[in-house]
Amino acid sequence: MFTDVVQLKLSAGKGGNGIVAWRREKYIPKGGPAGGDGGHGGSIIIQADTHIYSLEDYRNIRIIKARNGEQGGAAQKKGKNGPDKVVKVPIGTIVKDLKTNEIIHDFTENGQKLILCKGGVGGKGNCHFKSSTNRAPNISTNGTHGEEIEAELELKLLADVGLVGFPNAGKSTIISKLAKLPVKIAPYPFTTLRPNLGIVEFEDYSRVLIADIPGIIENAHKNRGLGFSFLKHIERTEALAFIIDVSTFEGNDPFNDFETLQNELKQYDEKMLKRPFVTVLNKTDLLEDSKPLNDFKEKYPFPKDTLIEISALDNINLDVLRKKIQKIAQINGKKF
């Protein structure tokens, strides 16, 4: 299951206690204090990882704790530090403080790390309290508690190109053909209930990460259906591909579908419409005549080079679409 929001209580480890101990060795009559320090508690570290695509691993977890540091030992032996707990998240994850709703960090690059909760400091053994006036201190200190936070992890996909369209427009078929990605495809709306991610590789070995955003419906910007759950994943895509079912097989008006999609994005975040885009007229294999295509082209207010006719099912013009996607993603020659 694709999980994009989780709430967790994160607790760093407590520092180990220092101890009271004495040096008792043969031939050393005045050994003195020898209590060791406690080890530091483990910290909670959040790390972005390109190999993780959702927050599914934390869906059934409520609390994550790092281990405590161990207490000190005799002969001034320091206790072991508690190991850090690394919580790996997908790129695009935002960490928020649940109490203040403040954004703590936004993970946008692979390998980024954040020490979210610092481990407690180990306590001091009695060897630290020896002085000229107190040669046999009988005191030590306890370790401090680690930091705690209740946090929300929210994933907003970071993709080069987002495929946007009404349910059953053919987005899943397109991403399965371009990225060779096995996805569920069926002839009914809302087949896709979670975003799919795929990588399209080109002849120069450059790559584009594309996201199949589940079907947007009218008034999605008002959170109708699963509006917010899906729209947020379009926020940070660099470019958009509007997928339009031009077949009119289900009685739809292709240009009205296009205007509705544009309006939903505008109402949610107007800046989305300023990104590079391509409009893909899909399912041309189901057309009985060219009237729906001609009507759409007459009304289309943007440059004709942003328009492409394809049949994803019959592999018609998919090579042209690949080139268009590479162009609007503006990553020619970029290899990663």
Domain boundaries, the chain: 1-155, 161-329
* Percent of the chain predicted with pLDDT > 90: 54
Residue 202: burial class (beta carbons within 10 Å; 0-12, 13-18, 19+): middle
What is residue 218's predicted lDDT score, i.e. its pLDDT? Answer: 53
For the cut 70, the answer to whether the pLDDT of residue 243 exceeds it is yes
pLDDT band, residue 208 (cuts 50/70/90): confident
The Cα-based distances of 232 to 154, 265, 297 in angstroms read 10, 10, 30
pLDDT band, residue 50 (cuts 50/70/90): confident
Higher pLDDT, 251 or 230: 251
pLDDT, tens digit (0-9, with 9 covering 90-100), for 60-99:
999 999 999 999 999 999 999 999 999 999 988 999 999 9
CATH architecture, range 161-329: 3-Layer(aba) Sandwich (3.40)
For the cut 60, the answer to whether the pLDDT of residue 299 exceeds it is yes
**The two three-digit tokens of residue 305, written as one number:** 């080079």
What is residue 236's predicted lDDT score, i.e. its pLDDT? Answer: 79
pLDDT band, residue 224 (cuts 50/70/90): very low
Name 165's bridge partners.
243
What is residue 2's predicted lDDT score, i.e. its pLDDT? Answer: 62
pLDDT, tens digit (0-9, with 9 covering 90-100), for 147-197:
999 999 998 877 789 898 888 888 888 988 888 765 443 343 334 445 777
For the cut 50, the answer to whether the pLDDT of residue 332 exceeds it is no
CATH architecture, range 1-155: Distorted Sandwich (2.70)
